[in-house]
Amino acid sequence: MASSQKLKDLQWVLEAIKTESLNLHSISFYLSQPSSCCYQETDNSININISEDSNQLFSYILIVLRTSKNTRLALRNLEFHFVEWELEQVRSLGGLLDSNLSIRQVMLRQNRFTIECLSVFSEILKENGGIKEITFSESGIGTVGAGLIASALKENDSVEELQIWEDSIGSKGAEELSKMIEANSMLKLLTIFDSSSITATPLISAVLARNRAMEVHVWSGEHGRKSSKVVEFVPENSTLRIYRIDISGACRVTCALGLNSTVRSLDLTGVLLKSRWAKEFRWALEQNQTLEEVTLSNTCLKDKGVVYVAAGLFENRSLESLYLDGNWFSGVGVEHLLCPLSRFSALQLQANITLKSVTFGGKRTKIGRDGLSAILKMLTTNETVTRLGIYGDESMRPDDFVRIVKCLEKNVTLRSLSLHGCKGVQGDRVLQAITETLQVNPWIEVIDLAQTPLQNSGKADGIYQRLGQNGKTEPETDIHTDLLKDMNLTEPKSCRVFFCGQEYAGKTTLCNSISQNFSSPKLPYIKQVRTLVNPVEKAVRTTGMEIKTFKDEDIKISIWNLSGQHEYYSLHDLMFPGHGSASFFLIISSLLRKPSNREPKTPEEVEEDLQFWLRFIVSNSKRAVQQCLLPNVTIVLTHFDKINQPSHNLQATVKSIQRLRDKFHGFVEFYPTVFTVDARSSASVNKLTNHIRRTARTILQRVPRVYQLCNDLIQILCNWRSENHNKPAMKWREFSDVCQVKVPTLRIRSRPDNKENVEMRRKAVATCLHQLGEVIYFEELGFLILDCEWFCGEVLSQLVKLEVRKQSSPENGFIGRKELEKMLRGSLQSHIPGIGTKVFENLEPGDLVRMMMKLELCYEQDPSDPNSLLLIPSILEEGRGRPQKWQQNTSDCIFAGRHLVCDNSSHTFLTPGFFPRLQVHLHNRIMALKNQHGATYTLEKYLISITISGIYIRVELGGQFGYHIDVLACSTKNLTETLRLIQQHIVPAIQSLCSGVTLTENVMRPECVRNLTPPRHRKTQFVSLQQLKQALLSVPADSMYDYQHTWDPVSDSGKPVLRAGFDFARDLLSDDDFREVLHRRYHDLYNLAQELQVQQENNPDGADLSLSTAGETEKVEPTFGGIAKGVEAVLQRLKIIEQEIRDLKQEIQGLRYYEHRLLIELHRKVNYLLNYNVQVEERKVPNMFYFVRAENYTTRLVTNMIPGMTALRLHMLCEFRREMHVVEDQVGCEVMHIDNMAVKSLAPYMTKFMKLLTLALKIGAQLATGMAQLIPDLSKEIAHLVDSSLFTGAVAAGAVGAAAMGRVNIFRNRGRGGDIQQDLRAAQQWIVDFLRDRGCSTGRDIAEKFGLWRVRYRDDGHIAWICRRHMTIRKHEIIEVPV
């Protein structure tokens, strides 16, 4: 009934279209229906059914649609079903399409066209510029129709998708479409479902030949068979798959591949191929430069065909993987196939060095004696193939496989050997050969023995165990003790080497090669690499670190291989070496993007990799309580053997590494040599191994000495493990027993008072061993971890990624202690019999929970409650995809935000483990305020939400590898109270966890806080707090109150997100901040008054002002709350008597008066400097000069002259009165060396000029525009210019009071200034002599180097050197006076 109520007659739809009451996006026409009606599916779509006797209405509706303005703007899709087109109807459709360019999709299903109608439709399509998609389904357009559509699309430049379903366009139609593809570059998708597969050949050939980025799908269902895909090409992954094609078509497609650059992977699996095709493919291999993978499995290729393929490999320089399994060739074919991959003499070069993976074999492949010889020759001489696959071979005997495996003993390249399904892989001899080979070849990572008799008999398990890999991580803390000072100190005997690098850098392979060098008889291997007991366990266990330990004479070297996987980055903070630990770093970066291809990294990518780890090292080293040594860093570049020599990229990479050396100078200690190695070759890494030995000994000599007892205990604990089944952990009771029996100095005697001291000594020794990285020990836990690799790899790496939600329902990251212990049992105990980490044979679940709390992997909600819930930050859900809004957002709410970012972000960052620590630390800090403020605390993965006293605060983590912290607040209280809460509780908590890393505070745009603008859109919507305060100091006094900071607009893909706007500084700063600005303004005026020697005028208030004292400002607290509501607030005047309170604006007006007096005096003094001693060389050179130097790719102003300074540049200011400025693009003159005579001549002038310049810049006077950009930190630059005693007395002094106080020193100042004439004369004479020596003595020379011209003022006759801009705009005030 409901459906029948929605049915309307055609008159209704006509009226609706005419009256424009419908906003239609989609219209579907169904003709030849039993009755005429319409059905409105949605507000924007309608189905129109037209019966056979109402066909005339079809054209009429198309005409009405054409004239409807509303429809023309909204209509997007048209569908036509069961239409038998007449010429008039096609023309009506053409009129609609011509008038409505908003129509994007046209679908014609089961339509019928005459040739004349198709021709007209073709002409319509030629001229149309709006249609994007056209679909013909079961419309029988045939060959002629395909040709007409093709001719239209040759000229159409808007259609992006063409689909022809259930039709038969034939080979001629396909040829016409292929010609269209050659001319049309706009088509993005072509789908053909034809009755014959022959249509695929011309289409795909044209796409390949023209390098079109066009997605192609061709289906066929010929001879009544089930439809199947013939060809598929997907440009996104550059993969071409051909499922069915005849030999002629295969040859044509292969010819098109010759010069193609869009296909990376070609798959012809199951296609019947012959030598005729292989001959064409040889040419394609020789010409193609982008094809990387070719799969020719089960293609029935015989010897002749393989010979052609092999011939193509001699010239090919891009193919990396070739699969030829399941073919019909013999040993002759194998011999030819492997020929370009082999060397037949020591002087011969390997013909093909790019192919990395080769697979062949099968039941019908007869390798024979010739093939075996070729395989042995290739394995013996090849230096590039990393994967060899021999599948399903039945022709070779066990002895043949023994020979193949034995050849691998000297092969340093092969990583993977697959003998899948080979019948000859059986018997003890084959097993023994594989085992012996793995003992001497550390580079083989995978041996596939699936479906071989050896696997079926169960004898392959030992091989899989030997091939297992295990990575580990280690926690680290800083604990220091002085309990063993009376014991002997000695040089430490163990050193750690940390391997840092991204994934695929080759760290594990490099570690294996180094271990091979350490494993010689001269250097016994202490501890072999831990291997997994079963490949099943390998599949379910992810490791985060690998540790290998070696003995080098009397010292032990441990290699800690840090995982490059992002999920383990948070563990890196825990294992970082603490203060005094003997350790150094190898940063390993691959020169290739992935080991599976030869695509080199750009120098920028290598630099980015290295810079991340350098920042990681610097950031974590600064966390140490003390930093006795700079971190020692060596850079290693792997896969050097795969880089063509000479390489332009390699040279650029070397330069980028040099830039990093310069950039991180003073932060880390670089080893001067960059090692370039083939990580697979122990010979290649021999020099690096020797470097590790030498550096370890050097580091051990430089680090603080340790107690001799620690070195002794290392061996004692090692012996204890051997005696106790290699237990990885020991209880504290067991450690005490060992000390009692084995260590006399830690033995408890009979005296009762000795027990407590001995126990403290034992704990101190354990702590020292923890710092050395020998054990993991925390006093509160009651046990020691002796096997760091076991704990970090099998325990800690699992704790970091607990699957809590699969086993429990934690709320807001909190979980019960018992529930966590139960979950730990399930996560760390294998469910497979015989397999397990045996964690709970050594540790109890409660021990692990306490360890997690100590390592800050979880935290107690209420430390005073023994049954408190535990917070686990790593299981928190990420809420960034959810709608974000404030709990309270009313008109009287104020919004404030602070953006905290690393001050030295180019060298340091907030490490990945920072925010989880902050979540718990801030939780404990805020919850301590609960009774007082009613605080609440909720968490998400990257968010902390806090409510304190009605103030809502969000602490957000932002950025990738360069994290920053955003603190956002919403409150109904005033701005000062809100910001005071942030400054007193939130920011200190954040700063306390950033030991060694300084965070700078920035003010965020309030609109971003109000709307919770996403972080990606607010990257530019903040201003430095200090910069904002400095801006207030730079404006005249009467402008401070109404100073505005402007915000730039933000858009996303052209859509505006934030409009440009402004906020008053008083709405961005708290009262405390604004009061600090006023203090600094008084301070600056005081210094300027002293420098200019301004005396106090007769002022009736002067006596009162001079009586002001520093402590009185605290009696009345300033507030701007009234200002925001339209009532001017008051600010207690600084250094004024207690009962005098004045309005803020009056305060600023008072500042304005004294600023005016001082600026007049400032300009008078500058003019004096400019025009002093006009007779000196008749002002033939400029007077106002300054020096700059390049520093870290920026230009810095030289504010102090020191003998021995080099590489300075001399620049001159434009001297136009009251508009002095830096001249842009000034060449300047290079000063190679500053000697004692130059310092004697220039230093007095520099001191006086820089005083005036810096003070003027700080109070905003336009003394030398552009100079501020050369002084990044004015407070630091002025420190050596202004007497420190002036700073102490000026902070709380009023401007008049400052001038009065300055009068005390006036005579001393005047005495110093008596020699100013001599100082200026000496400096000017040095400039004259210097420029004369440089051949720059004429006006033309000075104009070329400094962009200045000599002029005379018309009014007073003074000489000045000014820039071209002033020459133009001030020409009526000056007369040019050439030299």
Beta bridge partners of 863: none
Residue stretches of the chain with pLDDT short of 50: 1-5, 469-482, 520-542, 625-626, 805-807, 831-836, 1095-1145, 1172-1177, 1271-1314
Beta bridge partners of 26: 45, 77
CA angle, residues 185, 190, 196, in degrees to nearest 5: 130
Confidence (pLDDT) at 726: 78
Pick the closest to residue 165 from 125, 115, 107 (CA basis).
107
SS3 annotation, 1199-1237: CCCCCCCEEEEEEEEECCCCCCEECCCCCCEEEEECCHH
| Rounded Cα gap, residues 1101 and 1094, in angstroms | 17
Q: Which whole-number Å values give the CA distances from 1040 to 24, 572, 1037, 1065, 1160, in the listed order? A: 58, 48, 6, 8, 20
| Rounded Cα gap, residues 639 and 606, in angstroms | 13
The CA radius of gyration of the chain, in Å to the nearest whole number, is: 41
Confidence (pLDDT) at 1166: 58
Are 823 and 845 within 8 A, CB to CB?
no
Phi-psi region of 1344 (alpha: psi -120 to 50; beta: other; left: phi over 0): alpha
Which pairing describes strands 783-785 and 776-777: parallel, antiparallel, or unpaired? antiparallel
Are 312 and 294 within 8 A, CB to CB?
no
Are 1046 and 1060 within 8 A, CB to CB?
yes
| Rounded Cα gap, residues 1165 and 1253, in angstroms | 11
| Rounded Cα gap, residues 913 and 574, in angstroms | 8
Tell me, yes or no, if the pTM score tops 0.85. Answer: no
Q: What b/e string do you get for 1125-1137 counting C-beta neighbours within 10 Å, with b at 16 or more?
A: eeeebbbbbbbbe
- Segment holding 922, helix H or strand E: helix 914-927
| Rounded Cα gap, residues 585 and 107, in angstroms | 64
SS3 annotation, 206-273: HHHHCCCCCEEEEEECHHHCCCEEEEEEECCCCEEEECCCCHHHHHHHHHHHCCCCCCCEEECCCCCC
115-127 and 87-99 helices cross at what angle (nearest 10)? 10
Pick the closest to residue 567 from 542, 599, 547 (CA basis).
542
| Rounded Cα gap, residues 88 and 96, in angstroms | 13
